[in-house]
Structure 1
Amino acid sequence: MARPRIHDAELRTRLLEAAAESVAQHGVDSLSLRKLAAAQGTSTTAIYSLFGGRAELLVALFAASFSSFGDAQRQVPVTSDPEVDLRELGVAYRRWALQNPHLYAVMFGGLLGSVDVSEEAKLAAAAMDPLRAAVGRAVAAGTMSGASVEVISHSFWAIVHGLVSLELAMPMKYDDESRRAVFDAGTASVLRGWTRQ
């Protein structure tokens, strides 16, 4: 008697990673559950069992992307110097995006179209909690000023996000060292702008 197929966490992760790659490269409309299952050596039954269907798979993909990104941000150590923490959060943001370009595209590329991810939006907000906390510590310590914690946090995120998005869009324009230097200069400039003189 044949063993039943196991639809476990490892298969779920593989399906999400493959779905992210497919959506990032070919768009959400091209995602076929049959092709996805075949490429991962399983059946569409496994996808229905693990996710519930195509729409649920895409919602799970959005949630998994932000969850992974948020975990990377939360792993940045909190020190006594919030400006050091902000620099390290920026570095962690960039590192995660370069290691997970398909997930990054799912999060910020508008690839999911009309898929309703409103319930999962709290994961997106929570992923930025370490950034807001570091800015909050800097404002409380008097080393940053000029706007609210939310505004300063958003401006830092915007600069980091813009630099990373450009790097992903034009990966061959500069060598690794030059790209990192541009990133470091950009994050330093926004921190300098909010640092109390």
Structure 2
Amino acid sequence: MQPAEHHSRERFLDAALAVLLDRGPTALTIRGVAEAAGASTIAVYTRFGGRSGLYDALYERTFDLLREMLESLPPETEDGLADLLGLAMEFRAFAWANPARYALMFERPLPDFNPDPGLRAVVLRTTFELFIDKVRRVSPPGIDARTAGYQLWSTMHGLMSMELTLRSRPPVSGWFLSPTDEAYEEVYRSGVRSTITGLGLRNTDGS
């Protein structure tokens, strides 16, 4: 790809990401992205071949942002459990930074969009491997880090999806959680800790 073409592609992806963050997944149309980029719809079609190509490229970009977040975590300490919990809390912050981006990555906000299988395998594997590295540090003999990591990853996603859904709507009267960030953060933290404990993950020194 020539530098000018790369720059043009990045401009459209920046515009698509802005549309996603500002207006949500349903606003992700060729026309909406073209207007945000100050270009014609033909230019978007030329770069991406249509909606599917644009969506795939944006899907990849959102996972690049997650990978960058994981790679920018503080250096590992001697307390692998604390490092793992810290990653889980950063993941929550990533999801909360923009629920629309999180939905595009892990849910189905666009029913007619199915990411390219090869692309999906690559981006999920890349981010999951970074997560598994943290899990492997606290996996004693006999525990498969990938299986344990998947179970913990699922807990994190489940808690976040529930939180984002519940807090996007008016509070339910009598719900056991108060509709505050502090309450939901604590139930997320305790849920992650409980799963870590239940999976038998621990520091190598036994702590």
TM, length-normalised to structure 2: 0.77
Where does residue 119 of structure 2 map in the other structure? 120
- 1:116-171: CA deviations, max 9, x gaps? 411212111111122211111112xx3xx663111110111111111111111112
Where does residue 133 of structure 2 map in the other structure? 133
Q: Does 1:107 align with 2:112?
A: no
Where does residue 159 of structure 2 map in the other structure? 163
Please say if residues 19 and 36 of structure 1, whose CA atoms lie closer than 8 Å, have aligned partners that are also in contact.
no
Q: Mean alpha-carbon deviation: is it higher for 118-127 or for 72-81?
A: 72-81
Deviation at 1:101, TM superposition (A): 1.2
Give the residue type in structure 1 aligned to 2:124. A
Q: Residues 108 and 21 of structure 1: is their aligned pair in 2 closer, same or farther, counting only changes over 3 Å?
A: farther
From 183, 186, 196, the counterpart of 2:188: 183
Please say if residues 11 and 37 of structure 2, whose CA atoms lie closer than 8 Å, have aligned partners that are also in contact.
no
Where does residue 91 of structure 2 map in the other structure? 93
Supply the distance in 1 between the matched residues of 2:31 and 2:81 (Cα, whole angstroms): 48
Paired residues, number: 184
- 1:45-76: CA deviations, max 9, x gaps? 33134433222101112111211112212221
Please say if residues 63 and 105 of structure 2, whose CA atoms lie closer than 8 Å, have aligned partners that are also in contact.
yes
Give the aligned CA root-mean-square deviation in angstroms: 2.5
Q: How does 1:8-157 map to 2 (within 5 A)?
A: 9-19=10-20, 24=25, 26=26, 31-77=28-74, 78-112=76-110, 113=112, 115-121=114-120, 122-139=122-139, 142=140, 147-157=143-153
Deviation at 1:111, TM superposition (A): 3.4
Please say if residues 7 and 49 of structure 1, whose CA atoms lie closer than 8 Å, have aligned partners that are also in contact.
no
Give the residue type in structure 2 aligned to 1:195. L
- 1:24-63: CA deviations, max 9, x gaps? 3x3xxx7531243224432213313443322210111211
Please say if residues 19 and 31 of structure 1, whose CA atoms lie closer than 8 Å, have aligned partners that are also in contact.
yes
Gaps of 5+ in 1: 1-5
Supply the distance in 2 between the matched residues of 1:79 and 1:46 (Cα, whole angstroms): 48
Supply the distance in 2 between the matched residues of 1:100 and 1:19 (Cα, whole angstroms): 9
Q: Identity of aligned pairs, percent?
A: 27
- 1:76-119: CA deviations, max 9, x gaps? 12222221111011011111111121111111112343534112
Supply the distance in 1 between the matched residues of 2:77 and 2:41 (Cα, whole angstroms): 47
Supply the distance in 2 between the matched residues of 1:170 and 1:157 (Cα, whole angstroms): 20
Please say if residues 59 and 116 of structure 1, whose CA atoms lie closer than 8 Å, have aligned partners that are also in contact.
yes
